[in-house]
């Protein structure tokens, strides 16, 4: 049976319901390019909030995951890809928040330095 995964950026991909788990996304692709396009969407940002849907019904919501590895097999002329994911640890989640805060602080300091130097 089929369902969709919807990533944080609203990217939607049909997946194979009977093979998906909280640590595994399984989908079929026509070619390697479309498989790679989807793999590139599996960033920590997009996996920070995602859900599985059947039609308009949400059947599972997940937060704070990361991509671990990918493998695929050829099956009836299509590529069946398995994307192994895992939940981020509390330490990894906190570190990411600190890094985001540091980036904002660095940008503010750069703006202040520019203004102090007489720039705009």
Give residue-wise pLDDT tens across range 38-48. 999 999 999 99
Question: What confidence score (pLDDT) does residue 107 get?
Answer: 82
Distance CA 21, CA 117 (A): 55
Question: Is 52:68 a contact under the CB 8 Å cutoff?
Answer: no
Question: What confidence score (pLDDT) does residue 1 get?
Answer: 63
Question: Is 53:3 a contact under the CB 8 Å cutoff?
Answer: yes
- The pLDDT mean for the chain works out to 91
Distance CA 7, CA 40 (A): 12
């Amino acid at each position: 049976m089929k369902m969709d995964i919807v990533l944080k950026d609203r990217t939607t991909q049909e997946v194979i319901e009977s093979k998906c788990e909280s640590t595994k996304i399984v989908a079929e692709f026509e070619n390697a390019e479309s498989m790679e396009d989807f793999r590139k969407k599996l960033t920590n940002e997009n996996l920070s909030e995602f859900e599985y849907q059947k039609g308009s019904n949400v059947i599972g919501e997940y937060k704070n995951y990361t991509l671990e590895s990918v493998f695929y097999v050829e099956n009836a002329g299509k590529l069946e890809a398995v994307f192994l994911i895992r939940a981020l640890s509390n330490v990894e989640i906190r570190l990411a928040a600190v890094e985001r805060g540091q980036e904002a602080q660095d940008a503010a300091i750069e703006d202040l330095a520019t203004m102090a130097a007489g720039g705009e």
